[in-house]
Amino acid sequence: MDRDMCLQRSRESGLTNRCSAAERAPARFWVDYEEPFACKLLAAILRYHFRLQGVNSRPAVLLCLGTDRLTGDALGPLVGTKVSAAHDRPYSVYGTLAEPVHALNLREKLQEIYRLYKNPFVVAVDASLGNHRNVGVISVGTGPVHPGTGLKKSLPRLGNLHIIGVVNQGGVKELQNTRLQVVMSQAEVIASALLHAAQEILSPKS
């Protein structure tokens, strides 16, 4: 067996082990968007939580927070737009580039979700700021997220599951100076993982 084949089998074995570990997941999981197989690892943890919480018997709502007025805050709308464009999307999507969900309309959209859907399973997607070592990290956690904390805004906690992408370090000014490449790449990983995770669990929405 040549060296390249040995390396490939080693990588595949490592991926299998990490996916297995992800599906025995703790309440929080994280992966760097640049890591090999980041999408597959993220999909594995999402699939675990979907099965654990019986999402196949509940309306699945994807609530993507943010606005494209700030590059760093556009992660949520980018994810929502990508998932909405999927032919067989399994989620009802709120928050896209065309129709963002942000601080000014969040409460209204939450009321709409809980009026239209009985016992929905809400997956919240949001951007975050961190330290330089965490930029690029995507985390998944159970329970609600508290949006606007970094911007010192008082907004309702929301979501049964949340996905957070660390887009930059520092404070609110850094949201304006965030590299679009980082945000776009994270959005691609998150959207692809959401779609892959739901393939065997959720029914497509018309």
Q: Decide if 79 is inside a domain.
A: yes
The CA-based angle 149-194-47, given to 5 degrees, is 105
Structure tokens at 38: 């980041």
Collapsing DSSP states into helix, strand and coil, what is residue 133?
A: coil
Q: Decide if 206 is inside a domain.
A: no
Q: Which residues contact 87 (CB under 8 A, 6 or more apart)?
A: none
Flag whether pLDDT at 13 surpasses 60: no
Nearest partner of 185 among 161, 166, 162, judged by Cα: 166
**Per-residue confidence (pLDDT) for residue 176, from 0 to 100:** 76
When divided into structural domains, the chain yields a total of 1
User: DSSP label at 55?
Assistant: G
Q: Per residue in 158-195, pLDDT tens?
A: 999 999 999 998 776 777 788 999 999 999 999 999 99
Q: Per residue in 46-68, pLDDT tens?
A: 999 999 988 888 999 999 999 99
Q: Decide if 7 is inside a domain.
A: yes
Q: Decide if 191 is inside a domain.
A: yes
Q: What is the CATH number of the domain that holds 148?
A: 3.40.50.1450
**Per-residue confidence (pLDDT) for residue 106, from 0 to 100:** 95
Residue 155: which pLDDT band, with cuts at 50, 70 and 90? confident
Cβ–Cβ under 8 Å, residues 112 and 51 = no
Flag whether pLDDT at 15 surpasses 60: no
Structure tokens at 123: 């997956």
Q: Per residue in 102-126, pLDDT tens?
A: 989 999 999 999 999 999 999 999 9
Residue 6: which pLDDT band, with cuts at 50, 70 and 90? very low
Helix then strand count (H, E) for the chain reads: 6, 6
Enclosing domain of residue 26: 3-198
**DSSP of 116-133:** HSSS-EEEEEEEEEE-TT
Nearest partner of 68 among 49, 81, 59, judged by Cα: 81
- pTM of structure: 0.85
Q: Decide if 203 is inside a domain.
A: no
Mean pLDDT, residues 142-150: 79
Structure tokens at 66: 């943010």
81-85, long-range: CB < 8 A, 24+ apart? 82/187, 82/188, 82/191, 82/192, 83/191, 83/194, 83/195
Q: Decide if 29 is inside a domain.
A: yes
| Distance (Å, whole) CA 162 – CA 168 | 18
Q: Decide if 31 is inside a domain.
A: yes
